[in-house]
Amino acid sequence: MKPPRAAERPHSVVFHGHERNDPYAWLRDENWQKLMQQPEVLRQDIRAYLEAENKYTDSVMKDAAGAMRVLIEEMKGRIKREDASVPQADGPYAYYARYEANSQHPIYCRTRIAAPGAPAFSWTQSEEILLDVNALAAGKPFFRVTSADHSPDHAFIAYATDEKGSESHDVIVRNVASGKVVDQNVSGTDGGIEWANDSRTFFYCVLDENHRPSRVFRHRVGDKQKKDVLVYEEKDSGFFVGMGKTESRKFILINAHDHVTSEFLAIDADLPTAAPQVLAPRRPGIEYHVTHNGGRWFIHNNADGAEDFRISVAPVDSPDRANWSDLVPHQTGRLLLGMVMTACNLARMERVDGLPRIVVRRLSDGNEHTISFDEEAYDLSMVAGYEFDSDTLRFAYSSPTTPREIYDYDMTARTRVLRKRQEVPSGHDSSQYLSRRLMAPSTDGEMVPISVLHRRDTPIDGTAPLVLYGYGAYGMSMPSMFIPNRFSLVDRGFVFAVAHIRGGTDRGYRWYREGRLKKKPNTFRDFIAAAEHLIAKRYTSQGNIVAHGGSAGGLLVGAVLNQRPDLFKAAVAEVPFVDVLNTMTDGTLPLTPPEWPEWGNPITDADAYRTILGYSPYDNVAAKNYPNILVTAGLADPRVTYWEPAKWVAKLRAKKTDTNILLLKTNMAAGHAGAAGRFSKLEEIALIYAFLLKVFGRLHLVKTRGKQRAA
């Protein structure tokens, strides 16, 4: 097949006296809000173009169809078919989710704990199935349960369902004893649910007409939605609204936030009809998050110049900033990431020199100790439990070579017990792989961390193909974690590297500040510097690298392809945010106003306009050679709307001067996260891996490896 060519239709855009022609603006369906819920209303000429691109992708990848099937089975082989999460104790029950052998979706369950006060893993075998998502999903092209929360008295389970991938959810309540649905009256929510302590009232947040979570309602089980009471409404379109509950179960929390400012309100969970109380009024640039213990609020915040954050305390009855006092003071270079509270201890996650660690503080006397780990690069996370009066902290640990491990840590005895190690049924020998942390000098002398994974027998002489993954936005760090799918490339001679570039918080909050707004170009320079350093260290060679990123990481991919296409043989951009200038000048889109603090507001700020214009991938496509490129999109995606990748690909087709492969694959039945099922998701990953193996002339290794595994 010949590649599709999108029609060019003149469309003029003018800001700050600068005129741009956007010939593919017609690919945006003006009825996009309705499209999120009813994909079938997509305008026919747009649908025809997207489907033509999908058919072209299938045609180009036809010779890799067998390899994709092998890759899917290979990746399935690394998934334990019958699996379960580690149970969490809550009073008389232990709650968990499990998968059956061939199931796509989880089954939510509980079982009675053997004796009062016994740990969650001391259960009886009287399993109760609370929710079988597989049964709910049967016959549906897309189905996801985003949250499932039991009521405090264990009588009900409330769950949120998304049937389009658009992240608009219905909330359904079942009676656990009878299994009957007792409430399916709530729709249009963001998927969050928080129960009040009466077990008959819950709170939820609805999406507005522009798909933003902006209003919190109180609902009584069994009532019609029109009877629900508006509890909070956010008037500023630049703020999103979320909810939570303190570990003490004393307060329901409502938070309004953008990327650099936050505000919390609290409702006594025993008094759900009470009005929410603001804890500390929002102030631009001040972020804070709260939890509760006894008569005090514990406040994780960056006020008073605490760029890498501190933990303060304030009385429950007077939580305003004037009454904050330091519990854990600010320390430059030690980024405080979050905290988990129990009755007697406060556990905090912090990052120093790019590596996370957990510090436990005994509240009675302030005594602290650190939970230590040995590997050169690893990922760590804390898991908050249901029970507040407990000395146990659960955490998860993995590294690029070490499968995920779940530990229960006794914060008093300072001992840990392994509760679960991720099984790789097809086998995984960590000793066959090497994981390294490198430091690459960027253009201004900053040192950019790179995590590298490869087989011990992969030659480090410049001949290996290398996948370089990056993100670099919103202060999100890239964890050095175990991702079993990557071994389908690593076992075939690829080096896999992650560049911890500016825009994330991998090296503290300053690392984020230096990669946003007018300093956003540092993100792209860091990624290019990482590629050049890996070439210099002979992990790969110029023109033998894959640039890989998704969402805001897709913006990264698009920007570096415009700047240094010569470095790369291929690129993978998953649901890429590439039409930055058009998106950030459209205040009706879901994420635009909340993201002006991240990118700048090009509508009102001419400097921000020029900065974004300088790197926006779509606006900078030029008549030159580009590497082989695979782009993915989701039709119902509210985060990166489908037309961004579609327009980018259309412009690349018209402008580029090479004959390299350029593919666009749009999932017509999903959104930003792609397929919902655990096995269906593998089909999307197999397409990416088969594309890379094809481009690098290694498809034959799939068949070889497949036969060896079968043997």
Residues identified as active-site? 551, 637, 672
d(CA 611, CA 567): 24
d(CA 116, CA 245): 25
d(CA 213, CA 343): 32
What letter represents residue 433's amino acid? Answer: Y
Counting beta carbons within 10 angstroms of the beta carbon of residue 518, is it exposed (0 to 12), middle (13 to 18) or buried (19 or more)?
Answer: middle
Q: What are phi and psi of 345, to 5 degrees?
A: -140, 150
d(CA 390, CA 395): 14
Helical H runs in 537-576? 552-563
d(CA 267, CA 254): 8
- The full DSSP string for 159-188 is EEEESSSSS-EEEEEEETTT--EEEEEEEE
Number of neighbours of residue 276 by Cβ within 10 angstroms: 18
Beta bridge partners of residue 122, listed in sequence order: none
d(CA 34, CA 51): 20
Q: What three-state secondary structure class fits 491?
A: coil
Tokens 């900078």 belong to residue: 620
Tokens 């496509």 belong to residue: 621
Residue 113 is classified by DSSP as: B
Ramachandran assignment for 293, one of left (phi > 0), alpha (psi -120 to 50 degrees), beta (any other): beta
Tokens 């609902």 belong to residue: 219
| Non-local CB neighbours of 707 within 8 Å, separated by 6+ positions | none
Query: How far is the CA of 689 from the CAs of 69, 630, 663, in angstroms?
Result: 11, 10, 14
Q: What are phi and psi of 13, to 5 degrees?
A: -130, 130
Angle at 559 between CA 553 and CA 564, to 5 degrees: 120
Q: What does the CA dihedral 97, 100, 105, 106 come to, rounded to 10 degrees?
A: -10
Q: What three-state secondary structure class fits 649?
A: helix
Query: How far is the CA of 89 from the CAs of 113, 121, 164, 618, 651, in angstroms?
Result: 8, 8, 33, 50, 54
Strands 662-667 and 628-634: parallel
Strands 405-410 and 156-162: unpaired
Q: Would you state the structure tokens that stand for residue 691, as one six-digit string?
A: 């594309």
d(CA 473, CA 587): 20
Query: How far is the CA of 37 from the CAs of 95, 228, 446, in angstroms?
Result: 32, 23, 45
d(CA 211, CA 602): 21
Q: Would you state the structure tokens that stand for residue 140, as one six-digit string?
A: 């549906």
Give the containing element (helix H, strand E) for 15.
Answer: strand 12-15
d(CA 306, CA 308): 6
Compute the radius of gyration of the chain from its Cα atoms: 25
| Non-local CB neighbours of 540 within 8 Å, separated by 6+ positions | 462, 464, 465, 466, 495, 534
N-to-C CA span, the chain:
37
